[in-house]
Amino acid sequence: MPSLREYARKRRFDRTAEPRGAVAREGPAPERLFVVQKHRATALHYDFRLESAGVLRSWAVPKGPSLDPSVKRLAMQVEDHPMDYARFEGIIPAGEYGGGTVMVWDIGTWSPGEEGDPEGAFRAGAIRFTLAGRKLKGSWRLIRTRGRQWLLIKSRDGAASTDDVTLAKPRSVLTRRLMAGIARDAGGDLKTAATADP
């Protein structure tokens, strides 16, 4: 079952600008939202989120997504996030959970593979899906290996490539800013944020 209890427990909403949010009513729309947020917290990672059951199911991908089908990227499952989180870009204050700079690195829609039942696939630990983002496209899979540990893998298709998309396309899809620009505009730690820019 989707739940935002862990999400809310980790955050102080009087200190962070992150949305409190709520579990959304699951719409009939076949188009589901996906978002990838570049996040320079203690360490840089990319938060990969797929809408399902009224929340954003979430994984932290330390190295970010790879378009190369031979590359398996570690994706640590983290707490469900509210739908409102998808457009959160800015800073989380130092000392708060996830303190640092957040960029909306990619956004778009996703559709489940032939199984057609995302929550069933999620529970089974094997999700095949297609992304229609600005940077990430085509077929992908998330495979659970143990516990909260999954692998994010690009499937072979026309969108596969050996180019490093995180280096080639480093800017926010919402504002075109780099990490340093986001930190500067929000009064955050510019120097640390800049280490996450190419």
Footprint of Mn ion (CB under 5 A): 39, 47
List CB contacts of 122: < 8 A, sequence separation 6 or more.
52, 57
Q: How far apart, in Å, are the Cα atoms of 159 and each of 15, 59, 81, 139? A: 41, 22, 28, 8
SS3 86: helix
Question: For Mn ion, which residue has the nearest CB?
Answer: 39
Residue 7 C-beta: closest distance to Mn ion, Å = 12
Q: How far apart are CB 173 and Mn ion at their closest, in Å?
A: 17
Residue (47 or 89) nearer to Mn ion, CB: 47
CB of 116 to Mn ion, least distance (A): 29
When the beta carbons of 4 and 121 are compared against Mn ion, the nearer one is 4
CB of 121 to Mn ion, least distance (A): 23
Nearer to Mn ion, 11 or 39 (CB): 39
What's the burial of 35, exposed, middle or buried (CB within 10 Å: 0-12/13-18/19+)?
buried
> CB count, 10 Å around CB of 83?
18
**Residue 88 or 122 with smaller CB distance to Mn ion:** 88
